[in-house]
Amino acid sequence: MIKLLFNVSPELYREYRQPILEALRRRNIEAMTGLPGDIAPEEIDYVIHATGGPVDDFGVFTKARAVLSLWAGVEKIVGNRTLTQPLCRMVESGLRQGMVEWVVAHTLRAHLGMDRYVCQKPLAWEQHVPPLATDRSVTVLGLGELGSAAALTLAGLGFRVTGWARRAREIAGVRCLAGADRLPEALATAEILVAILPETPDTINLLDAERLALLPAGSCILNAGRGSLIDDTALIAALDRGQVTNATLDVFRTEPLSANHPFWSHPGVTISPHVAAATRVQSASDAIADNIERAESGAPLLHLVDRALSY
């Protein structure tokens, strides 16, 4: 019998406890679970974690073999100095599919100029024929679990896709660039720029005034990574001068976005309240159970966070 601590809110505990127990049972693993205070910390085998969980000091879990995040983004926990256990991010099919759907929807919306008709004025019979996807260049920043799936799907729709990451990648139909010195090249062709990068010391303010100025005039930005990737003030300036015509933002430096933030009233900004991709309970429970099964059988954990890189 293994012991799982849920370092999550009581609501998430209610949502995830049973599906995770069932996923473990399907793998012949019996477990007991609890919230902080229910089980002695030194007896815990695995910690299931979500941002906002009540425990900050992971040093008390002296025997824990891993901390398993329910979320893909780990920027709020990765720098915790008490965390000496292996930390695993959430990678699961529902999250991936959700992100692909969000990116495809907003890329097509930008590509086809759909806002023009959705926000139509009466009697405005104005036809605008967009180019075909084969004549539209899209750049995806971040080619990890989510970015590579989005880039592959966009390429499948016929878009000219450039992808950018830290290390060299190969994705069918995608021109892959790697490293900081290739970023200007990735931005220069980005009629539609899709950001799906994690927040790390290297990515904060990656899209500053200088980099935004490298985008083609009239480009659109979709940010589904983290709000801190883009300098808010520089983005507003780029929108005001028409360099960027629309920014669809799913993530923000402070969430919920404060009522007085200029994004709310800017006509070029579409606000999507951190809904691009949600962790799905069933597939996420299977992902957690898979990793526990691996650890119990001595196999290496999947989706380990590299502390030196912060993702």
Ligand X SMILES: NC(=O)c1ccc[n+]([C@@H]2O[C@H](COP(=O)([O-])OP(=O)(O)OC[C@H]3O[C@@H](n4cnc5c(N)ncnc54)[C@H](OP(=O)(O)O)[C@@H]3O)[C@@H](O)[C@H]2O)c1
Binding footprint of ligand X on the chain (CB under 6 A):
72-73, 91, 95, 142-147, 165-167, 169, 196-200, 202-203, 224-226, 250-251, 274, 276-277, 311
Structure tokens at 180: 């900081």
Task: Pick between residue 84 and residue 310 the one whose CB is nearest to ligand X.
Answer: 310
Question: 96 catalytic, yes or no?
Answer: no
Catalytically annotated residue among 182, 261, 266, 274: 274
Catalytically annotated residue among 226, 241, 266, 280: 226
- 101's CB contacts (< 8 A; 6+ apart) are none
Task: Pick between residue 40 and residue 168 the one whose CB is nearest to ligand X.
Answer: 168
Task: Pick between residue 4 and residue 197 the one whose CB is nearest to ligand X.
Answer: 197
Note whether 116 and 168 are within 8 A (CB).
Answer: no
What's at 128, amino acid-wise?
A: H
Question: 226 catalytic, yes or no?
Answer: yes
Minimum CB separation from ligand X for residue 129, in Å?
A: 32
Minimum CB separation from ligand X for residue 169, in Å?
A: 6
Q: Determine phi and psi for 85, rounding to 5 degrees.
A: -75, 155
CA dist 259 and 176 (Å) reads 39
Q: What does the angle CA 133 – CA 235 – CA 201 come to, to the nearest 5 degrees?
A: 100
Minimum CB separation from ligand X for residue 150, in Å?
A: 9
Report the residue number whose CB is nearest to ligand X: 144
Minimum CB separation from ligand X for residue 119, in Å?
A: 24
Taking the C-alpha atoms of 282, 87, 29 and 145 in order, what is their torsion angle to the nearest 10 degrees? 40
Distances (CA, A) of 58 to 54, 55, 65, 182: 11, 7, 12, 39
Q: Which residues are catalytic?
A: 226, 274
